């Protein structure tokens, strides 16, 4: 504990002695190896600002504030808040990507299953329609309403529902 004289206390309170003067140990090459001692002085030996001086507030580069959609006069706190908001938004997006809204998106497996069922149903329907067309044309041939030589032409006509209706009207 340091005991100051009355005049020393006054000089310190008036900030007349406010600089540190460190003494260092050096090696043969002149590099500092350690601190020897520190004294209080009224004239600084090193040309550094005092460690307890108030620093100018840090400014944020205009490029960064622009990318974040902030004004050029934005503070560091504003910038940090904007970055935190971006991080939160990113996390929300990642969560949505991992657990999509099932009212808007269908899992791939469900989609593929439905697609396979639809394709199977379409194939069966085509088979039934082809059998119906063959039965219709073969019945007309046996009834003598159309010539057997034209069977392929009439089968082509009967590939559609409308074609089958027209053929049925024609052979009535």
Domains of the chain by residue range:
1-55, 62-98, 108-170
Q: How far apart are CA 139 and CA 116, in angstroms?
A: 34
pLDDT given for residue 95 in this prediction: 79
Q: What confidence score (pLDDT) does residue 120 get?
A: 95
Structure confidence at residue 73 (pLDDT): 87
pLDDT means over runs of 10, the chain (172 residues): 90 88 88 88 71 67 89 89 91 79 82 95 94 94 94 93 93 89
Residue 32 CB-density burial (10 A; 0-12 exposed, 13-18 middle, 19+ buried): exposed
SS3 28: coil
| The pTM of the whole model exceeds 0.85 | no
Q: What are the DSSP calls for 30-88, one per residue? A: S-EEEEEEEEEESS-SS----TTSPPPPPPPPHHHHHHTT--TT--HHHHHHHHHHHHH
């Amino acid at each position: 504990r340091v005991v100051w004289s009355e005049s020393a206390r006054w000089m310190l309170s008036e900030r007349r002695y406010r600089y540190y003067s460190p003494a260092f140990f050096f090696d043969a090459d002149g590099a500092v190896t350690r601190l020897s001692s520190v004294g209080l002085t009224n004239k600084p030996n090193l040309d550094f600002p005092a460690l307890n001086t108030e620093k100018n507030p840090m400014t944020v580069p205009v490029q960064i504030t622009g990318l974040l959609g902030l004004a050029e006069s934005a503070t560091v706190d504003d910038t940090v808040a904007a970055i935190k908001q971006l991080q939160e938004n990113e996390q929300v997006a990642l969560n949505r990507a991992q657990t999509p809204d099932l009212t808007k998106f269908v899992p791939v497996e469900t989609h593929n299953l439905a697609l396979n069922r639809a394709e199977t149903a379409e194939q069966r329907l085509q088979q039934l329609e082809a059998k119906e067309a063959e039965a219709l044309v073969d019945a007309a041939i046996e009834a003598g309403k159309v010539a057997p030589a034209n069977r392929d032409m009439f089968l082509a006509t009967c590939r559609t529902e409308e074609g089958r209706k027209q053929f049925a009207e024609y052979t009535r």
